[in-house]
Each structure stands twice: as structure tokens, then as C-alpha cells.
Amino acid sequence: MRHRKISSNYKPREMGFLVFYTGLRSSRFLLSFVFLWILFAWLYIPWTQAEPKLILTLIFMGAFLCGTFCVIGLALSSLFYMLKTVRGGIPIGDIEHKINEEGIQQTSKNIEVTLSWHAIESIIPYKSHIILLTKVPYYFIALKKQSFESNMDCDIFYREAKALIGQRDSRKDKARTKRLEWEAQEKWQMTTLLRSFAKNWEDNLPKQSLRNIVGRANSQS
């Protein structure tokens, strides 16, 4: 992996949304939902005394209530995170990331955190960010796509990081890879066509006409 140095600026509101999104994607959110649903089913569903239709209705009702409760709890925790970042104590504002084949180093407000690639659980793209979910509870690293040298450099980093942590391609990744390959092939075909057209035009142009064009250009200058 090529060494990269990325600098980005994060606002508390932006980090709060990222905390909410990463919370939805984490396994802890799913475990919380399953635990609450099992608790609801054990306490409030009369399995032996109710009809199958009522039991099915209560099952869906419990899933909806448990999911809503988990989302509200996650939203409140994200709001608390935003308020805490305003008071300080959490890396926010200008954050610098140094990336190499050994790991990633995050520096902000004289706070330095270094993680190896073994500590990265998964990597997911989210709108204008690349998010690295770590094996440390409630800790993630967010990289802004616009902080990379180009979109191609961001795509290369995404593929290299997935290869280092052993993450498989999702359906979206496969579709995105096909689209990028198609765009690259189309660009190469267009470049080849333009080069061949220019070469043919130059070969078919009479030398006398070419001399006249050059002479006129020199006289006008």
C-alpha cells in the first residue's frame, strides 16, 4: 500500500451522523434488537393461549417496537456524542491520518492513535466518507473521499484496505467494480479512436497544404 497523508475537518454534527450510521451497521445494534425482541416475546406473547393470527401480530408488533426503541436509543447516544464533542475531550475538528502498509495513524489536538490493519474489522463506503470499523468498541475512523488525491486514488485505497483485512466484495462493490471497468474501457476506446483519427488526418493531409497552414500561422504571428 502506498503511503498516504490525509487531512480533513470534521464538525460535531457530521461526526454525530457518522456515529449513528456506524451504530446501525454494528453487530451490537443487532444483538440489542434480538435481545429486546426475545424479552418481549417471553413476557408479552401468550404462546399457548392465543390464536396463531394473534401470535403473529404480536410478533410483528414486538419487532417494530424493539426496532424503534433501539433506533431511538442510538439516536440519543449520537446526540450525546455531539454534545460531548462540543465540550471537548474527543478528537474533532482538523484530523490528520497517515496510512501505510502497517496500519493507520490518527492525530488530532495532540491526541495520537495508531491502529494496525489487524484491528480493523470492516471498511464501508458511506456517501462522501470511507469508514473503517475497528474491533475496539464504539471506535471508528472516518476518511473523507475528497481528502484523497483523486477519486481513483480513493478507489485504490478502498480495494487495498479490503485486501489487507480480508474483506470480501459485496454486491455493491461488484457492481461498482464493473461500472469502473466499463468506464475505463470506454475511455481507453475513445482515446484510441481519437489517436487513430488524428494520425489518419495527418497522414492524408497533403504536405503542401500543411506547409501553407504553417506559413499562414507564422505570418499572422
pLDDT tens sequence across 70-96: 999 888 888 887 777 666 555 566 788
Question: Residue 208 has what pLDDT?
Answer: 47
Task: Give tens-digit pLDDT for 13-30.
Answer: 777 788 888 888 777 888
Alpha-carbon torsion, ordered 167, 169, 172, 174, to 10 deg: 160
Question: Residue 35 has what pLDDT?
Answer: 92
| Residue 123: pLDDT band with limits 50, 70, 90 | confident
Average pLDDT over residues 154-170: 81
Q: Check pLDDT > 80 for residue 216.
A: no
Q: Name the H helices within 139-170.
A: 151-165
| Percentage of residues of the chain with pLDDT beyond 70 | 78
Cell numbers 474491533 correspond to 135
Q: Give the N- to C-terminal CA distance of the chain in Å, as an integer.
A: 51
- The three-point CA angle 98-150-179 to 5° equals 120
Rounded Cα distance, 41 and 57, in Å:
11
- Taking the domains of the chain in order of start, what are their residue ranges? 4-165, 171-220
Q: Check pLDDT > 50 for residue 130.
A: yes
Rounded Cα distance, 130 and 126, in Å:
6
DSSP code at position 48? T
Q: What is the residue-averaged pLDDT of the chain?
A: 78
Rounded Cα distance, 199 and 107, in Å:
52
